[in-house]
Amino acid sequence: MNPPKSRGTQLGRGLSALLGNEAVEIPESNKISGRSTEGRGFSLMPVEFLVQSPLQPRRVFAQEDIDALAKSIKERGVLQPILVRPSAVNADEYEIIAGERRWRAAQIAQLHEVPVIIKEMGDEEVLEVALIENIQRADLNALEEAFGYRKLIDDFDHTQDSLATVLGKSRSHIANTLRLLVLPDGVKTLLAEGMISAGHARALIGAANPKTIADEIIKRGLNVRQVERLVKASKDEPQKPSPKSKEKDSDTLALERSLTDVLGLNVEIDFNGSGGQVSVKYKTLDQLDDIIRRLSGGE
């Protein structure tokens, strides 16, 4: 088992612990990328030089929330700097680590530049910080949170224990959130859209028909306890035995053998009392051509 990351305690305390004295100010002489703020620990940068991060776990940004933030920014400005790192793709761009919502709102508010703090960070730390910021602000839906945890485990060799330490969450919370990823896509879509809650979704894990029950949740406004009872009842229902196939009589079996000998292919006859079907099984296209030729009266 991998040991917890050494910076886990620092990250678990929150974003403020990350900034410290390591922020980089843009030199006043650098007119391309922004301008210094004379020792205040951050720089002002044109909004067009900031780009979204592919590691951003958040996928859904409620437009009404962004519009409300844009109104506040128009009146009071951007009060908290946006955390960025130099882009590995373009020297004149900076990738947003934390603060994409502020950046989007600033553009709606028609600001030309925003305060930024520049830090050198690797991909793993960027994803951890983005998760922390969004989780602390309750900005992630449960599915986005689960995908973020899964990426840290798959791409950066974390365990559930080390994630709990790094992110300041309990191991049971990490485990229960990851379990949401086993749900069928239809249920995950309802969760991502806020049609059902994370509690509803967790109750559906292991259900034989989770999408059907999810639709019932929406239709009837069921609470989590009601869903748990519904899932339990569906599991307790006795399974209906599959109908046994009717045994064929000797005449039918004899006819199958006769046709099989004539065609050189396996023939099955299914009779339901008033009608039925004859099935001829072939393995190659040549055999199929032979059947068609015979049925059409060819040699």
Active-site annotation, residues: 100
CB contact at 8 A, 111 and 105: no
* Radius of gyration, alpha carbons of the chain: 31
3-state DSSP of the chain: CCCCCCCHHHHHCCCHHHHCCCCECCCCCCCCCCEECCCCCCEEEEHHHEECCCCCCCCCCCHHHHHHHHHHHHHHCCCCCEEEEECCCCCCCEEEEECHHHHHHHHHCCCCEEEEEECCCCHHHHHHHHHHHHHHCCCCCHHHHHHHHHHHHHHHCCCHHHHHHHHCCCHHHHHHHHHHHHCCHHHHHHHHCCCCCHHHHHHHCCCCCHHHHHHHHHHHCCCHHHHHHHHHHHHHCCCCCCCCCCCCCHHHHHHHHHHHHHHCCEEEEEECCCCEEEEEECCCHHHHHHHHHHHCCCC
Nearest residue to 113 via CA among 39, 29, 26, 23: 26
Cα–Cα distances in Å, from 203 out to 52, 60, 197, 259, 271?
A: 34, 23, 10, 55, 45
